[in-house]
Structure 1
Amino acid sequence: MKKYKILLVISIIAIGLMSALIASINEKKVEQAQLKEVPKIDRWETKNEEFKKHYPRQFDSWKETKHSDEIEDMLKKHPELVVLWAGYGFAKDYNAPRGHFYAIEDNRNTLRTGAPVDEKTGPMPTACWTCKSPDVPRIMDKEGDMEYFTGKWSKYGSDIINPIGCVDCHNPKTMELQVNREYLNTGLKAAGKKPLEDATQQDMRSMVCAQCHVEYYFKKTPLADGKKAAVVTLPWGEGTSVESMEKYYDNLEFKDWTHKISKAPMLKAQHPGWEMWETGAHGRNNVSCADCHMPYTQEGGIKYTDHNIGNPLENMDKSCMNCHRTSEKSLLDNINKKRERKDNLHQKAMTAIANAHLEAGKAWEIGATKEEMAPILKDIRHAQWRWDYAVASHPAFFHAPEETLKILGTSIEKAGNARIKLAKVLAKYGASDYVAPEIKDKKQAQEIIGLPFEKLVEDKKKFQKGLMQEWKKEAEKKGLYNPESTKNLEDKTSYN
């Protein structure tokens, strides 16, 4: 009798476990079915919180980019940058990029965007918002690309309010990957590359990133109504290599600014991550940006893309180790060696270019002519363009280590050529003993270029307490902004 009781208890437990398992399986099937259904979301819903209702895992992982919140003042770390960018906004303020969550905050807080007092003031054009928010393609769709590209940065202060998120890469009605900025497709066609209409799903896992992580410039474009637009344009008409883009810019005689000290017509590289990626092993084998930066994650029976876009080396078991048949330690050792080589050439290039700018400034001071200086300034322009290109594509040493070292090597070569020519000019005018001052810190460097740093900070703080707060209130009234999304968010800067 006791034997039958034990069997009965075991049977009841087994039935219970089976029931729980079946319930769990059914629950997962229901959840998977729900995930496959595309909910109805407005085409231009730009509040990322609205997507949490339907895609909680993706949203929660995206919000993890909030933890990449530390400010790393690159001008403090490398004060030579102040001299390299003399006369340009980056000499005022430049921090290492933070997580996507902070795209709006960092754009509003940087000294580069100035301290506008209304929608018609400030140093920067509207184009400076282009890669910072899903509100940008919403405005482009509503007003047209050309109207968006007119006016000052402050024109859309209360309209561009949500940081990089869902609508930047997805069509909410289908959740298909979609590029929402037309200039990328225009650039691809100009370069003779596969247009977006022919892109595969795997291609799109990189192209949605390429709409922002590329080199670009603001093309001044007169419009029929008399307005002028500063249009984001990709300089790919001659190709997508550093040399091809250099040729493109030289043919146009384009310059981002005239250097305050050397008077060289300068180029500012933006963030040519995609162009560098396509030259490396991952790009050549079509390992997409998302494969490494947004690896698939398994949670129970649900597989989804991790939207905590960041450093793949912090998540190697889900990113690198899916393909590489070696230990994490071995892989990291190899990567760190590549970084060390890049850092070494990076520092040498910065020092050489900074000295060339200062020596050119001295040459002008003592009477050098435009004819004498022209070839020197061209060397400086090309040296700095190549250095900037290699480092502005922040992970270039990883994406394309050989290309990065090659570019930095040619940068150092061209800076050296400029300095050899400058030595002859300085000697001609009796200043052969001139030695450029050593750049010791950010404050000293900003004094050398005559930058009124304290005044810039003072004006910025007035803007932050005044007009910026008005923008937030107006955006909330328009239904574009949920203040809870940035509640208790600490505004970090390099100057507070």
Structure 2
Amino acid sequence: MGKYKLLFAISIIAIGLMTALLASINEKKEEKEQLQKVPQIERWETKNEEFRKFYPREYDSWKQTKESDAIEDMLKKYPELVVLWAGYGFAKDYNAPRGHFYAVEDNRNTLRTGAPTDENTGPMPTACWTCKSPDVPRIMKKDGDEEYYTGKWAKYGSDIINPIGCVDCHNPETMELQVNRNYLNEGLKAEGHSVTLENATQQDLRTMVCAQCHVEYYFKKTPLTNGKTAMAVTLPWAEGTKVEDMEKYYDNINFSDWVHPISKTPMLKAQHPGYEMWKTGAHGKNNVSCVDCHMPYTQEGGVKYTDHKIGNPLDSMDKTCMNCHRVSEKSLLDNIKEKRDRKDELQAKAIKLLSDAHFEAGKAWEVGATEEEMKPILTNIRHAQWRWDFAVASHPAFFHAPEETLRVLGTAIEKAGNARIELARVLAKHGAADYKAPQITDKKQAQELTGLSLDKSIEEKKKFQNGLMQDWKKEAQEKGVYNPESTKGIETKTSY
């Protein structure tokens, strides 16, 4: 009798387990079917948290970009950068990029954007918002690109409020990948690229949605028929996308971002040409997209989704690198470290040469050098710093395109060296052969040597943060484009 009771009990347990399994399978099936349905979201809904209702896994993984919150002061790490960027905003404040979650936060807080007191003040144009928020393409659609590019940065302070997110890359009505900034397509056409947005494949778009921001650009001064002037984001690709091509483009139009106050060099500031460098490397040449490595597929139960914690692929190598590479993780990591070390070595040499060249050029002017003597020297300084900056501003270039990174840094060192050789001759000719450029020891010393005082800028910035910036948030909430809960508890972090 006990035997039958035991069999009966086992049967009941087995039936219960089967029922639970079937329920789980049905639940997952229903969930998958629900996920495959495209919910009705307004075309220009830019509050990222609204997407969580329909895409909880994608949103929650995106929210993890909040974890990359540390401030790394690059001017403290490389104080010579203050000299290289003397007279330009980056000499005041430059930190390593943080997670996408902080894009708007960091743009408002950096000293580079100044301390506006109303919508018509502040040093920067509206174009400085362009890659920071899904609210930008919303405004471009509403006001038109030309109007968006007019006026000061503070003009849209209460409209551009949500950090990089869903609408930057997706059309909410279909959730298809979509580039929402027209200048990328204009740049592709200017380059003569065989792939434009009109014929791009899904795999192409998995890179292009990133390329709309991770590129080199400049603000092209464009007079409008209504009398206003637009500072339009423009990609300098008409001559090509290599460092020499864009250098030629800028030289041809006699463009400079600023004139260096010490060396008097008309300078170029590279932005973040990640896409251009990626194209030259093994991944780019084999059409391994940005998303393949930075947003790998993740399996959770019966659901497969794209991980939106956009960050370092080395944090999840089993989902990224190991899909293609048939070597050990240790072997890959050792290889990557070697590439980084080589880049760091050449980068440090280039920075030191450029810092010395700026000071030596300043001394040459002081002792009576002529414009004819200095012109080829300044050209070498301009090209050397542009190439150094291009190689390192595309932050992971040592990984995306290690050979090209070293090549570009090598030409930067060569040109900076040539400038210093010529400067030695000019200094000797004018009786200053014994001049030695000051050795940079720290950020504060570098800022003092270049005549930069930040006390007033910091005071004004804090006043802005406690005043107008708070007004922007209130106005954005009243407009319905901002949910203060989305940034609740965020600690303001700066390097000043």
1:283 aligns with 2:278: no
Give 1:232's aligned residue.
233
**CA distance in structure 2 between the partners assigned to 1:366 and 1:468 by the alignment:** 47
State how far apart, in whole Å, the 2-side matches of 1:459 and 1:181 are.
33
User: Partners in 1 of 2:90 and 2:214 — Cα distance?
Assistant: 18
Partners of 2:368 and 2:359 lie apart in 1 by 15
Q: C-alpha offsets along residues 427-449 of structure 1, whole Å, 9 cap, x if unaligned?
A: 11100000000011100111111
The equivalent of 1:303 in structure 2 is 304
Q: Distance in 2 between matches of 1:467 and 1:169?
A: 30
Q: What amino acid does structure 1 have at the position aligned with 2:314?
A: L
Q: Which runs of 5+ in 2 are unaligned?
A: none
Q: Secondary structure at the match of 1:383?
A: helix
Structure 2 residue aligned with 1:58: 58
Q: Quick one: which amino acid aligns to residue 46 of structure 1? A: T
Q: For 1:310-340, what per-residue CA distance to the aligned partner results, in whole angstroms no more than 9, with x for missing partners?
A: 0111111111111111111111000000000
- Report the more deviating stretch, 447-456 or 427-436: 447-456
SS in 2 for 1:218: strand
Aligned to 2:136: 136
Residue pairs, 1:53-92, within 5 angstroms = 53-92=53-92
1:192 Cα deviation from its structure 2 partner: 1.2
Aligned to 2:179: 179
The whole-number CA distance in structure 1 between the counterparts of 2:9 and 2:488 is: 54
1:325 aligns with 2:304: no
Aligned Cα RMSD in Å? 0.7
* C-alpha displacement of 1:5: 2.6
Name the aligned partner's letter for residue 130 of structure 2.
T
What pairs with 1:82-481 in structure 2 (closer than 5 Å)? Answer: 82-193=82-193, 194-481=195-482
Of all paired residues, the percent bearing the same amino acid is: 78
Deviation at 1:365, TM superposition (A): 0.8
Q: Distance in 2 between matches of 1:142 and 1:455?
A: 37
Q: How many residues align?
A: 495
Amino acid at match of 2:209: V
* Mapped pair 1:33 → 2:33: yes
1-structure distance, mates of 2:266, 2:150: 24
The 3-state SS of whatever aligns with 1:4 is helix
Q: Residue 44 of structure 1 corresponds to which residue in structure 2?
A: 44
Deviations 1:207-232 (A, max 9, x none): 00000000000000000001000000
Give 1:23's aligned residue.
Answer: 23
1:278-307 Cα shifts (integer Å, max 9, x gaps): 110111111110111000100000000000
Using the alignment, how far apart are the partners of 2:363 and 2:462 within structure 1? 36
- TM-score, normalised to structure 2, is 0.99
The answer for the alignment partner of 2:5 in structure 1 is 5
Give the Cα–Cα distance (whole angstroms) in 2 for the partners of residues 454 and 428 of structure 1.
40
CA positional deviation for 1:7: 2.4
Q: With structure 1 as the length reference, what TM-score do the two structures score?
A: 0.99
- Measure, in 2, the Cα distance between the counterparts of 1:186 and 1:466: 39
Shift of 1:483: 0.6
Deviations 1:250-291 (A, max 9, x none): 111111111111111110000000110111011111111011
The alignment partner of 1:229 has SS state of strand
Give the C-alpha shift of residue 455 in structure 1: 1.3
Distance 1:465 1:366 in 2: 47
1:2 is displaced (CA, Å) by 3.3
Alpha-carbon deviations, 1:148-173, whole Å to 9, x = none?
Answer: 00000011000000000000000000
SS in structure 1 opposite 2:198?
helix
Counterpart CA distance in 2 for 1:6 and 1:474 is 70
SS at match of 1:105: helix
User: In structure 2, the residue corresponding to 1:108 is in which secondary structure?
Assistant: helix
Q: Distance in 1 between matches of 2:199 and 2:337?
A: 37
Gaps of 5+ in 1: none
Secondary structure of the 2:304 match is strand
Which string of whole-angstrom CA distances, capped at 9 and with x for unpartnered residues, describes residues 74-112 of structure 1?
000000000000111100100000000000110000000
